[in-house]
Amino acid sequence: MPNPPTITRLSAPIDPARLAKLHRLNQDHAEALSSLSPVALERLIGGAYLAATVDDGDGLVVVCDQTTDYDSPNFLWFKARYDRFVYVDRIVVSDARRGEGLARQLYDTVFAAARADGHSQVVCEVNYDPPNPGSDAFHDRLGFVEVGRAVLADRGKGVRYLRREL
């Protein structure tokens, strides 16, 4: 029986080898997540409400709350509409570990932290152009519902804004 995955909270500064692995993971899925330089990824993690990795780099979640200083148009969309929220900026699992429930475990970590801090909702966005049917189905299973859409012409994407009450 394999060992259960280990979820580790992250904070900056990040060990260079770990950062390199997380950056590769992000870049391997940049179409769904958005590309970031290693410096930008470390800055995002350092300013996040919560950031965590699975098994030292096989999965990553980066989460902001309404107090985060972040200029992402998707984050700002939620900030304009909700006074208090937890925003999942990116969640990703390596291709080799897909189907093991790691993304669900990362979300469970987010939900537990948000509840403990008195938050009542978690929000995120998922691309509809280009389509991301796997993420759509996953977020639907977790109970997220669509609350809006936007076209990010400068990024060549269309996104669905999703919300889940806790």
- Length of the chain measured in residues: 166
Q: Give the pTM.
A: 0.93
3: confidence class by pLDDT, cuts 50, 70, 90: confident
Cα gap 141→113, rounded to integer Å: 20
| Peptide bond preceding 130 in cis form (omega within 30 of 0) | yes
Strand partners, 61: 52, 91
Cα gap 154→163, rounded to integer Å: 24
Q: Which fold has domain 7-165?
A: Aminopeptidase (3.40.630)
Taking the CA atoms of residue 146, residue 103, residue 41 and residue 161 in that order, the dihedral angle to the nearest 10 degrees is 0
Greatest Cα pair distance, the chain, in angstroms, is 47
63: confidence class by pLDDT, cuts 50, 70, 90: very high
Can you give the residue ranges of every domain in the chain?
Answer: 7-165
Whether pLDDT at 56 is above 80: no
